[in-house]
Structure 1
Amino acid sequence: MSTEPTQAELEAEIVRTRAELASTIDELTTRLDPRTQAANVAHQTKQAAADTGSFFTGGGLPEHDPTRARNVKILVTGTVATIALVVAAILRKRS
């Protein structure tokens, strides 16, 4: 009994490996495409804005997705920081 793979088994393994490699390359190409990345960022930004609006109207943070909850916190913190900087600049200019 031989434990060595047959020629046909080796060729089949090569075909499977090539197909997996092609699939991986296609997936990476899609993920790294600037248009795909821009669309993802735009979607996340819109989702964060909608989640923030829900948060301020009493809907709370999205509990089912920690990333979305984090994005709301970042957006609220950034907004508060921006307002604080504008107020500080106005007060400084008046002095």
Structure 2
Amino acid sequence: MTHSNDASRGTDHGRAADLQAEIDHTRDELAETVDQLAAKLDVKSRVRDQVHQTTSAAARHVRSVRDGATDEHGRPTPAATSVAAGVAAAAVAAVLVGAWLRRRQ
């Protein structure tokens, strides 16, 4: 009779160990889910990450534009010089037209 009692204790112990393992696994999954939800709700951190990504993208874009506007020695290319001259001419024209319109009134 004690022999069958020992066998049932072993089975109960095995079930308890299985249940404990399942509880531990569920607890780990729940902790991971809570961490993911907390990360979604951490607006400050998400904004900081977005600012970092945007800043990095802008820096890459600036490097790309600068590389396209300068030669291998860092001097402006003829195309970049033409664009800069066009922008300057447009600015001067805008100032002159504005002054002319103000004088007419």
TM-score by length of 1: 0.50
TM-score by length of 2: 0.46
Greater fraction helix: 2
Q: Higher relative contact order by CA 8 Å / sep ≥ 6: 1 or 2? A: 1
Specify the structure having the higher radius of gyration (Cα): 2
